[in-house]
Structure 1
Amino acid sequence: MLEYAQKPWGYERTYAVEPWLIKRLVLRAGQRTSVHKHKLRKEHLIVLSGHGRMEFEDSEKPFDPDDMITIKVNQIHRIIAETEVDILVVGTPYPEDVVRVKDAYGRVKKRKK
């Protein structure tokens, strides 16, 4: 299965290959994803091209082509693109487990009390 989704920061292609969820993220220069976490999913990001930073709750790590970054379950993170970046994401198949904490594009859902 292949899906394409336009995002405020660029685009995403999703490939479902059991037992994995594989995504290709392309972020435009100067853009960023939301600050978010995954309730169930662990991810491995492989930087194909571009330069940027991975922002975590209490630290920041620059990345370059051929770098690999592991995101643990429930680890708060965000991708910041300094140049256009192309990233391959390999993770466990829980596509609807995203919890947004902060988002420049207004996509944080209000929690019910």
Structure 2
Amino acid sequence: MIVTTTEKIPGYEVKEVVGIVSGNVVMSKHLGRDIAAALKTLAGGEIKGYTEMLTEARNIALERMVKEAEKLGADAVIGFRFSSSTIMSGAAEILAYGTAVKLRKKE
């Protein structure tokens, strides 16, 4: 499955637009991460626990979007983007979305 932020893929043309696809996940931090983050804000620097959590969340959202595109028989997702939002204190949603398409090799 090709996933790209661009609207075109070199060497291919869009044969059919299948539809909008998305995948999301809501992740929350646990108390241990919360305490470590609070201490880290005093000293400054990267809060690695949150970085790891958000990386994992992005990967899950991306996988779910790709699975949705595969179910629709798509060859690629173009115009791919991530979005995030705070759901409640301590929980964030990561959304992966794009346009699922079927491709044809250019001649």
Query: TM-score, length-normalised on structure 2?
Result: 0.24
Query: Larger % of strand: which?
Result: 1
Select the structure that is richer in helix.
Answer: 2
Greater CA radius of gyration, 1 or 2?
Answer: 2
Structure number with the bigger relative contact order (C-alpha 8 A, sep ≥ 6) is 2
